[in-house]
Amino acid sequence: MPAAARPTHRRATIETADGQPRASAYVCEAASCMSAQSHDITLRLGERIAALGMTDVTIKRVGCLGLCAAGPLVEIAETAELFERVKPDDVEGIVKALKKVKPTDTRRPQGPFFEKQLRVVTENMGRIDPESLDDYVGRGGYEALKRVLSDMTSTEVRDVITRSGLRGRGGAGYPVGLKWTTVAKAEGTQKYVVCNADEGDPGAFMDRSVLESDPFRVLEGMTIAAFAVHANEGYIYCRAEYPLAVSRLRTAIRLAQRAGLLGTGIADTNFNFDIQIRLGAGAFVCGEETALIASIEGRRGTPRPRPPYPAVQGLWDQPTLLNNVESYANVPTILNKGADWYSEFGIGKSKGTKVFALAGRIVNTGLIEVPMGTTLREIVFDIGGGIVDGRPFKAVQTGGPSGGCIPAQFLDMAVSYESLIEVGSFMGSGGLIVMDDTSCMVDVAKYFMDFCREESCGKCVPCRVGTTELYMILDLISRGEATLDDLAQLERLAGIIQKMSLCGLGQGAPNPIFSTLRYFRDEYMAHIVDRTCPAGVCTITAPEVMA
Amino acid sequence: MPVLHAKPQAPTDDKRWKIVETRMRRMGDRPAALIEALHAAQEAFGYLDTDALNYVGDTLGVPHSRVYGVATFYSFFTLKPQGEHTCVVCTGTACYINGAKDILSGLEKALHVKPRQTTADNKISVLTARCVGSCSLAPAVIIDGEVKGKVKVDDLVAQLEAM
């Protein structure tokens, strides 16, 4: 794992009349650009402007600028000029652009990738230094918390969240306000607020980007939640695979504690709340709430039957509020701008915005935020820039291993919790994997089943045994050795596992099979009857073909 | 009242045990600290051997069987020492559809190692990860902590063989 880089650059003092820089270069230092050596760019830019004596220019490390495909990214903040795929030699060009910036310059439009987005959760991303509390406060951070603590009652806070229509962004879409109310009303003197940052879906990196780019927002959201449900202890359960996110969270917690925004007597009131980080250890099932709680308690991350729900009996059997990163990150903005403002966005029962991670065979891989109800076509083609190499679009996979593949005929569908379920998929945490004709749908189903088989915790039989059985049948099909009876058995078994499994992992595991069978049955038939793989992905080993 | 008992001795006088001990003490030497303690031990020693598991269990008052259960449940923990270099191949969805499978089979052919194995000369351990989050660089591998994006099989094999 890449060791999280410590901040080694120091922002030079700005020597202009008002202390504001004339020009500023924002260098993306989120995981994706960092892995393309963007930190070197920051250092090099700093050295260059120091050597040139440009004292009215600032070089700032910022969080995710969004367009990960073109990283490392550098943006001139005043003009919104974006430098893509920056190499150490490109530094001179950036310095030249910085020289040209005039006080009258304004940010010009940046093209459809940026213009079609609506930033709520990601409003500070790429704008603030994620390890600077001053930057966050400078953009209105902690205003919501201070107002909540001084002017509002916990009931009023819960009421605002309920009216906003915010639903859990971890995937299932349970109304956040309702959950908060349940926890607030649950009996018990000790309550906990837990943030689920165990983003295990392959191809999803929304929560990681939020934590890496704007960690204070999550802390503020959790603190407001704690006030609303009368809790004074909080945990963030984060994947150990995200070292940079963990390191920035630790810094943010320390800075917030030092500034009196976390700990005892927050913002000079008598409200106390503190947050600890717990590291996951590479178990996908720990994204399930009861398994996550078991893991925080130091045990094997196996789920247990619900009810009782964690809202009533969670961490150490006390009422526990559990939301994911994006849900908490929405909270400060909702309280600042109001429930009515927030609920204006969206469609039907899906309000507000959703952050998606675009990946796969798409041009603009990256992180986006759009209002609920945006169509898949806008996401994939307008914002995403279409398919790599101009190949034909085949499907978009949402919801990770519990989700499904959505074919081209639904491209004009407005994305919401309900519409995705209708077409046999699932919102999930927000990973969108785009596939073209080089992907075989049987192989994709097999890939996800392999994932579920390995990640099954082994507690309940349908999931433990069933996912392995399903994988074996899919393997037979992909090798061209299956019969139509095997296909019937696959469908029967998938139905059993969906109904009988203990937790969401097993219940969702057959979804990739159902959705690929629903829309791409012809590919299954080609493997079984014609013993060929139309996409040319699978290695056919059936004897009659080999001969 | 918790049962008072003498704190167990670290298996050796290696200074790295102090790090593990401190992490456990900060969390009150309670059973809930188990996963954090295992993280600390693995960070310090690279892997978890039986001595480490028993020491952590004894300090936190967790039965050895349960410590072993937790250590084997989470795929992040490894009970075997790693080779000199590690090569983690990301098998997240984005990397998978961009050719992670070919990378694994290429490594198997050239170095005769499957995922979670180490080459016979103890040089290179090949591991897999479920999405390292560098989806925009797919397919990605991590060699000794450094992410390499848009990997081509031949280049990767050449680089590993030169190590």
Report the CATH number that the domain containing residue A520 is assigned in CATH: 1.20.1440.230
| Residue A174, burial from CB neighbour count under 10 angstroms (0-12, 13-18, 19+) | middle
Give the CB-side neighbour count of residue B87, counting CA atoms within 13 A. 29
A61-70: average pLDDT: 91
Is the pLDDT at A8 greater than 50? The verdict is no
B89: in domain = yes
Span B21-50, pLDDT tens digits: 999 999 999 999 999 999 999 999 989 999
B9, part of any domain: no
Query: In 10 A of CB A479, how many CB atoms?
Result: 18
Same domain, A196 and A332: yes
Instruction: Provide CB contacts within 8 A for A34, sequence distance 6+.
Output: A2, A5, A244
Do A56 and A169 fall into the same domain? no
Is residue A545 pLDDT above 90, yes or no? no
Residues in A touching B130 (Cβ below 8 Å) = 200, 202, 241, 282, 284, 451, 455
Tokens encoding A330: 């929405």
Closest C-alpha to A208, from A186, A236, A172, A187:
A236
Cα–Cα distance list, A4 to A29, A77, A200, A279, B19 (Å): 11, 25, 20, 15, 19
Farthest CA pair distance, chain A: 83
Please indicate, yes or no, if residue B111 is contained in any of the structural domains.
yes
Sheet holding B124-129, edge to edge: B117-118, B124-129, B85-90, B141-143, B146-148
Identify whether B2 is part of a domain: no
Higher pLDDT, B97 or A19: B97
Give domain status of residue B29, yes or no: yes
Q: Nearest CA to CA, how far is B61 from chain A (Å)?
A: 12
Q: How far apart are CA A490 and CA A492, in angstroms?
A: 6
In a domain, residue A10? The reply is: no
Residue A3 above 50 pLDDT? no
A4 — pLDDT class (breaks 50, 70, 90): very low
For position A227, which CATH number holds?
3.40.50.11540
Location of structure tokens 């409200």: A271
User: Could you tell me the pLDDT band of residue A108, with boundaries at 50, 70 and 90?
Assistant: confident
**Number of structural domains in chain A:** 4
Determine the straight-line distance between the first and last CA of chain B, rounded to whole angstroms: 56
**What integer pLDDT is reported at residue A107 of this predicted model?**
87
Q: Give the separation between CA A251 and CA A30, rounded to whole angstroms.
A: 15
Q: What angle do CA A171, A176, A179 make, to 5 degrees?
A: 110
Instruction: Sort out which chain A residues have CB atoms less than 8 A from B140's CB and list them.
Output: 35
Domain boundary pick from A417, A436, A455: A436
In a domain, B78, yes or no: no
Q: Do A377 and A335 lie in a common domain?
A: no
C-beta atoms of B133 and A295 within 8 A: no
Q: How many domains does chain B have?
A: 2
Residues from chain B that touch A433, judged by Cβ atoms under 8 A, are 93-94, 97
Considering only CB atoms, which chain B residues are within 8 Å of A300?
A: 69-70, 73
Q: Cα–Cα distance between A324 and A355 in angstroms, integer?
A: 13
Q: Where does A345-453 show beta strands of DSSP type E?
A: 346-347, 350-351, 353-360, 366-371, 393-398, 404-407, 431-436
Residue A48 Cα distances to A37, A94, A142, angstroms: 17, 10, 35
Q: Is A448 helix (H, G, I), strand (E, B) or coil?
A: helix
Contacts of A137 (CB under 8 A, 6+ apart): none
ipTM confidence? 0.89
pLDDT of residue A13: 62
Domain carrying residue A245: 133-343
A395 with A261, same domain?
Answer: no
Domain of residue B41 covers: 16-73
B58 assigned to some structural domain: yes
A–B interface: beta-carbon pairs under 8 A: 136
Does residue B3 lie in a domain region?
no
pLDDT at A2: 41
A477: part of which helix (H) or strand (E)? Answer: helix A461-478
Q: Is residue A100 part of a domain?
A: yes
Do B60 and B103 fall into the same domain?
Answer: no
Is A360 within 8 Å of A434 (Cβ atoms)?
A: yes
A382 with A492, same domain?
no
Nearest chain A CA: its distance from B146 CA (Å):
6
Q: Are residues A259 and A359 in the same domain?
A: no
pLDDT for A6 beyond 70 = no
Q: What is the CATH number of the domain that holds A76?
A: 3.40.30.10
Q: What is the pLDDT of residue B130?
A: 79
Q: Do the chains contact at A240 and B132, CB–CB below 8 Å?
A: no
State the CATH number of the domain containing residue B110.
Answer: 3.40.30.10
Q: What is the DSSP string of A294-324?
A: HHHTTS------SSSPTTTS-GGGS-EEEEE
CB B131 within 8 A of CB B97: no
Show which of A293, A309, A343 is a domain's final residue: A343
Asked which of A259-268, A333-342, B3-12, B29-38 is least confident by mean pLDDT, the reply is B3-12
Domain shared by B110 and B58, yes or no: no
- Claim to verify: residue B60 and residue B97 sit in the same structural domain: no
Q: Which residues of A508-544 are buried (b: 16+ CB within 10 A; e: fewer)?
A: bbbbbbbbbbebbeebbebbbeebebbbebbebebee
Are the beta carbons of A202 and B94 separated by less than 8 Å? yes
